[in-house]
Amino acid sequence: MNHNGELFVDFCSLNDLVIDGTLFPHKESHKVTWRSPNGSVENQIDHIAISRRWRETLQDCRIKRSADVGSDHYLLLATCRVRLTACRKMEQKTPEYDVERLKDPDTKQEFLLTLANRFDALRYNLDGEEEVDEEIKAEWSIIKEAYTSTCEEVLGKVKREKKEWMSQDTWLKVEERHNLKSNIDNSRTRNQKANATKLYIKANRKVKRSCRREKRKWITDIATKAEEAVSKQDMKTLYRITKTLSGRRREINKPVQDKAACNKGRTNETQGRDW
């Protein structure tokens, strides 16, 4: 054990942690986590540490040699089984309808006609004699049901198709690299492993070059579409492209509510007291 290993053991001892890789009996090929670039040296230098309190939840810990990520480290995987009960509120997402179809005159006419018929059907009860209660909640329920059902019938929901920026040629190169990785793991002699490692390094370089080239082309194409959207003053398309490139999502703060489930007039002092 070197100096870093001693520091890691001391750290686990001070924080009451258990090193997972030393608990389960596995053959050496499922323990080593690092292989030198020339393939001649293998060591167990990557570890997963878990609190002793949760030690019983740990089921297994071993490496996965078949996981190909173009690295000299193997994927270290720990399997845990935690039994926790949590109260989660299922948030129903509002469906996004394909409003772009309303630009078509025929679709627009069909939408207006269906919506008018839906209003007439909902404004009368099942017997068709009297109108429903004219209260605000009843009116809102009628409007919501009419628009929702009409949008589902005429427009349909927006179909998001994520465009893959990696071409089929790149995926074939990734598959070739994965096969070479298997050849390294299945090598019987040092010469076989050395030759397989050289081929793997070359294949890995090809994959990285191809990924960088296609990612740049994908970003350039999206930027061109954004410029076209600006020239047409299509802010919706521009916003969607900007959101795709940034990859950021808006974080929603959920403040603590009082017993009456009301946040109106809350102050920092009252909210802190509820916490």
Q: For residues 262 and 137, which has the higher predicted lDDT (pLDDT)?
A: 137
The residues that bridge with 42 in the sheet, in sequence order, are 35
- Asked if 114 contacts 155 with a C-beta cutoff of 8 angstroms, the reply is no
Going from the C-alpha of 185 to that of each of 29, 107, 172, 242, the distances in angstroms are 9, 59, 20, 43
- pLDDT over 80 (residue 269): no
The whole-number average pLDDT for the span 81-98 is: 71
- pLDDT over 60 (residue 128): no
- Asked if 229 contacts 237 with a C-beta cutoff of 8 angstroms, the reply is yes
Query: Given this model, what pLDDT does residue 164 score?
Result: 67
- Provide the residue count of the chain: 275
Confidence of residue 134 (pLDDT cuts 50, 70, 90): low
Q: For residues 127 and 43, which has the higher predicted lDDT (pLDDT)?
A: 43
> DSSP states of 114-139 as a string?
HHHHHHHHHHB-TTSSSBPP-SHHHH
pTM for the full predicted model: 0.47
100-119: per-residue pLDDT in tens?
788 888 888 888 888 888 87
Token pair 């997972």 in the structure block, residue = 20
Residue 67 CA to residue 80 CA, distance in Å, equals: 20
Half-sphere exposure of 73 (CA within 13 A, CB side): 7
- pLDDT over 50 (residue 132): no
Rg (alpha carbons) of the chain, rounded to whole number: 30
